[in-house]
Structure 1
Amino acid sequence: MQETEADFLQIYDRRDYLSPLVTVDAAIFTFHNGELFVLLTKRSEHPEKDKWALPGGFVDETKDTSIEDTVQRKLKEKTGIEAPYVEQLQTVGNNIRDTRGWSVTVIYTALVAFQDCQSYVENISEASWILYSEAISMDVAFDHREIMQAARERLKQKALYSMIPAYALPEEFTLPELQACLEVLIDKPIQKKSFRRRIEQANLVEEVGQRPASGKGRPSTSYKLKANAKGFNFIRNLEA
């Protein structure tokens, strides 16, 4: 009698085969006080104990039904919120990056609003927002410096043709705040008129009210992203 797949699975034991470690790492960025920050956590255990590292961890088969579940679970553990923008960056697998053994790591980049998670992050002793410019000069764990640089470059490229800078801001923001975040991500100034024209023509934001002025200035108009903004790509890069 020919063996069926059900028969095969009944006797199959995956522990009979060597398997690599499967983990996720996340380069989480935010925009605050005109600068770009990345979230780092201090490792409390070996390997690389006491070094700063990107948040991440092992896939938990009892909690995660997909690798996306894993990264969102780890992001929420470190920030207290679900990141509104998460994108898979790359997958790294070899026998040298982790001294515990052969490992496969799926790497993500994410953007969150500083104001939405700062109070939560402040209560986690081993987590801190670090200026990106400082983080890439630190002696961080594993290959996390290279991961941060790759994630930073991805965000720069995405900012040239999409609305992803808005996900580093609170749900309600002003256009000057959006422009400032965009300029930090692309690492160059842009003309106010061309920026405003680009945003208005795309029709991706909606007005939600007036923000009281500080001092003698005029009130600022607040906006939020429309539902279709997440998947929208401009026809031309900002540089063009």
Structure 2
Amino acid sequence: MQPEYERPIVTVDIVLMTIVEGALAVALLERDNAPFQGVPALIGGYVHTDEDEDAEAAVRRILKAKAGLEGLFFEQLRSFAGRDRDPRGWSVSIAYFALVPPSLLSGGTGKTLLLRPASAPGELPFDHERIVLAARERLRGKGAYSTIAACLLPKVFTMSELQGTYETVLGETLDQSAFRRKMKDLDLLEEVEGEKRQTLIARRPTTLYRLKAAPSVFDRRI
């Protein structure tokens, strides 16, 4: 007879990041239930084995239900597991990070997203502080070799907005000429024909761009 084993709690937790006043921020939700009821935490929930085809399906379902968001870029971070991370018992969290432009955070679910600096999100329940730190490190590392930083912007953006977003993600200032040259050499962007935007710092309307393809990795540092 096969021995009985305690089944672990299985959840997904999502580090939803955006940019607020030029700094990377993480979106939190107050928990509805115990443990830690009323305490801000990462957006997450149980895997529903009856409807979630896989963990990514659970992420999409939870983002839509709890944050009113669909079609975001997200990527698996890693798993966090152990006996002591959840007071309810042995648990496994499949952690993801997701990126969203601030303009999409209108909140269509009746729940208020709390935006805190990703570098200092405050005391969080479970091991959510560790998960946020891991997501920040992944975004900074991968952001230097990919176009995922553009997922923090609307689909159409100026070159200055793109550079500013990369600087926020990487935590460093980039040379403007070198940045524009790399973008051209890598052939990642296309101009939006027939559209320009007047900005406060430019005398003439500014050219608008969008990504040519889905977020991708390239072979040199930005």
TM-score by length of 2: 0.91
Kept after mapping to 2: 8 A contact 1:31/1:168: yes
Matched residue, 1:144: 128
Matched, 1:230 2:218: no
Matched residue, 2:111: 124
Matched residue, 1:77: 65
Kept after mapping to 1: 8 A contact 2:66/2:109: no
Kept after mapping to 1: 8 A contact 2:148/2:216: no
Q: Secondary structure at the match of 2:29?
A: strand
AA aligned to 1:72 is R
Matched residue, 1:47: 35
Matched residue, 2:164: 180
Deviation of the 1:189 alpha carbon: 0.2
Q: Which string of whole-angstrom CA distances, capped at 9 and with x for unpartnered residues, describes residues 114-138 of structure 1? A: 102x22169413x222222341xx1
Q: Which string of whole-angstrom CA distances, capped at 9 and with x for unpartnered residues, describes residues 59-106 of structure 1? A: 012221111100111122233222432111111221110111111110
Matched residue, 1:24: 12
Aligned partners of 2:201, 2:99: CA distance in 1, in Å? Answer: 31
Deviation of the 1:51 alpha carbon: 1.7
Deviation of the 1:41 alpha carbon: 0.8
> What's the % identity of the aligned pairs?
38
Q: Which string of whole-angstrom CA distances, capped at 9 and with x for unpartnered residues, describes residues 154-189 of structure 1? A: 000011111111001111111111111100111010
Kept after mapping to 1: 8 A contact 2:67/2:109: no
Deviation of the 1:57 alpha carbon: 0.5
Q: How has the CA–CA distance of structure 1 residues 146 and 17 changed in structure 2, closer, same or farther, with 3 Å as cutoff?
A: closer
Matched residue, 1:105: 93
Larger Rg: 1
Runs of 4+ more than 4 Å apart: none
Gaps of 5+ in 1: 1-13
Kept after mapping to 1: 8 A contact 2:77/2:135: yes
Q: Secondary structure at the match of 1:54?
A: strand
Kept after mapping to 2: 8 A contact 1:164/1:230: yes
**Residue 207 of structure 1 is aligned with which of 166, 191, 194?**
191
Aligned partners of 1:36, 1:94: CA distance in 2, in Å? Answer: 29
Q: Which string of whole-angstrom CA distances, capped at 9 and with x for unpartnered residues, describes residues 3-51 of structure 1? A: xxxxxxxxxxx9x653111100010101233121110111122112222
AA aligned to 1:170 is P
TM-score by length of 1: 0.85
Q: Secondary structure at the match of 1:197?
A: helix
Aligned partners of 2:54, 2:36: CA distance in 1, in Å? Answer: 27
Q: How has the CA–CA distance of structure 1 residues 78 and 222 changed in structure 2, closer, same or farther, with 3 Å as cutoff?
A: farther
Q: Secondary structure at the match of 1:55?
A: strand
Aligned partners of 2:62, 2:82: CA distance in 1, in Å? Answer: 22
Higher helix share: 1
Deviation of the 1:143 alpha carbon: 0.8
**Residue 207 of structure 2 is aligned with which of 216, 221, 231?**
221
Q: How does 1:52-67 map to 2 (within 5 A)?
A: 52-67=40-55
